[in-house]
Amino acid sequence: MRQILLSTAKILVSAALLYLALRKIDVSDLVSRLGLASVGWIAFALAMALLQVLVSALRWREISADCGAPLSVAQVLRYCIIGSFFNQTLPSSIGGDAMRLWLVGRGPAGWRAAAYSIFVDRAIGLTALAVLIVASLPWSYRLIGNPHGRLALLLVDLSALAAAGGFLLLGRLQWPWLKNIRAAHHLRACSVITNHAIFNRKRGWKMAFLSLSIHSLAVVIAWCVARAIAAPVFFTEIFLLIPPVMLITMLPISIAGWGVREASMALTFGYAGLATSEGVNVSLLYGAVLFVVGALGGLVWIFSGERAERGPAPIELAE
C-alpha cells in the first residue's frame, strides 16, 4: 500500500510540474520548428544517448568487479539498456537500478555484491557531477546574474558535495561501533569501495574519465535537440546549465524525471536571461530522446533470456 501511495505521489508530481511547464510553451510552434533539418540533429542526439549507455556500462563494469560481481562487456551493456527501459516506466531512475540489481543479484555474485555495485555506481556519478558543477561556478556566475539563481545553484551544489564528501569520509572512519549497525556497516563498505575506485592511482583516472564523459554526453544531447529546433542558445550556455538540472533530476520524486526536468530547465534558462519556453522545449525533446532509447531497451528486454526468469528472489545482504 505504501509503495502504491509513493508511486501515485510521484505520478502526481510529474503531472503537476509538466502542466505548469507546458503552460509556458506553444506545442504547435514547437512541432512546426521540427523539419527535415532537425532529423540529423535528433539522430545524432540518439547516437550520443546510446553512446552514453555504453560509457555508463563500462564504468559499472569497473565498479562491479571491485564489488565482487564481475560482468562481461556484453552483460553490462545489455543490463544497462534494459535498465534504461525501466527508468522510463518506473519512478525516477530507481526502476532501472532495481532491474540491474535483480539481473546481477540472481547470479553467482549474490545480492550484496549487486547492491554494492549499484550504490557505488550512483555515488561516483553524483560525486563527479557535483565536482563538475563546482568547477564551472566562476563561469556559471557570469552567466547567471540573478542573485536567487546564484544562491539556488550554490545550495544545490553544496548539498551534493556535502553528501558525497560525507559518504567518502565514512569509508575512512575506523569507529568499531559502525560494524555493529547493519545499515552503517554496508554503507561504510560501499564507501571503502568508492574511495578505492576514485583514488586508485592506476584506475582512478579511468573512473574520472568515464564519469565526466557520461555527464558531457548529456550536455551534447541537450545541445543537439536545441539545434534541432534552432533554439537561440550557445553550447557554452548549455554546458553550464544542464549539469545542475541533471543533479536536481536525480531526486526520486517523479516518473523518469518528467516534470522536474522541465521545471528546472525553465528556471535555469530564466535565471540565465534566456527564454523559459526554450528551456522547456529543450527539456521535452531531451526527454523524448531518452524515451526512444528506453523503448529500444524494452525491445532488448522482450527478446532477452532474462525475461523468461520469474520474479526476483528476496534480497538478503550478508554480514
Concatenated DSSP letters of 186-213: HHHHHHHHHHHHHH-TTTHHHHHHHHHH
Span 50-77, pLDDT tens digits: 999 999 999 999 999 999 999 999 999 9
For the stretch 113-130, pLDDT in tens is 999 999 999 999 999 999
**Model confidence at 211, in pLDDT bands (50, 70, 90)?**
very high
Q: Rounded CA gap, 230 and 84, in Å?
A: 28
Say what the pLDDT of residue 1 is.
63
CA distance 17 to 152: 18
pLDDT on residue 315: 45
Average pLDDT on 27-51 reads 91
Rounded average pLDDT over 288-304: 92
- pLDDT score for 313: 45
Q: Which of 110, 126, 216 shows the shortest CA–CA distance to 162?
A: 126
d(CA 226, CA 45): 10
pLDDT at 202: 84
Q: Are the beta carbons of 104 and 69 closer than 8 angstroms?
A: yes
User: Cell triple for residue 302?
Assistant: 522482450
C-alpha torsion sign, points 275, 276, 281, 282: positive
pLDDT mean across residues, the chain: 87
Q: Rounded to whole angstroms, how far apart are CA atoms 241 and 311? A: 41
Q: How much of the chain exceeds pLDDT 90, in percent? A: 58
**91 pLDDT more than 60:** no
Beta bridge partners of 255: 91
pLDDT at position 54 is 97
> What pLDDT is stored for residue 94 in this prediction?
63
pLDDT of the residue at 18 = 72
Q: Is 183 exposed, middle or buried (0-12, 13-18, 19+ CB in 10 A)?
A: exposed
Encode pLDDT of 155-190 as tens digits. 988 999 999 999 999 998 888 887 788 888 899 999
For 244-268, the pLDDT digits (tens) are 999 888 877 777 778 888 889 998 9
277 within 8 A of 226, measured Cβ to Cβ: no
Q: Are 141 and 241 in contact (CB under 8 A)?
A: no
Q: What angle do CA 315, 97, 107 make, to 5 degrees?
A: 50
Distance between CA 294 and CA 84 in Å, rounded? 5
pLDDT band at 319 (very low <50, low <70, confident <90, very high): very low
For range 221-246, the mean pLDDT = 94
Better pLDDT: 144 or 6: 144
> Taking 50 as the threshold, does the pLDDT of residue 48 lie above it?
yes
Q: What is the pLDDT of residues 266-283, one digit of tens each?
A: 989 998 988 899 999 999
Which of the pair, 4 or 21, is modelled with greater confidence?
Answer: 21
Q: Residue 142 contacts by C-beta under 8 Å, 6 or more apart in sequence?
A: none
Element (H, E) at 234: none
Q: Count of CB atoms within 10 A of residue 287's CB?
A: 21
Give the span between the Cα atoms of 150 and 273, in whole angstroms: 13
CA–CA gap between residue 179 and residue 191 (Å, rounded): 13
What is the average pLDDT across 219-246?
Answer: 94
Q: For residue 215, is pLDDT > 50? A: yes
Task: State the helix-helix crossing angle for 204-228 and 235-249, rounded to 10 degrees.
Answer: 110
309 falls in which pLDDT band (50, 70, 90)?
low
DSSP structural state of residue 72: -
Rounded Cα distance between 218 and 221, Å, is 5
Please report the pLDDT score of residue 312 as a whole number: 46
- Nine-digit cell string for 69: 560481481
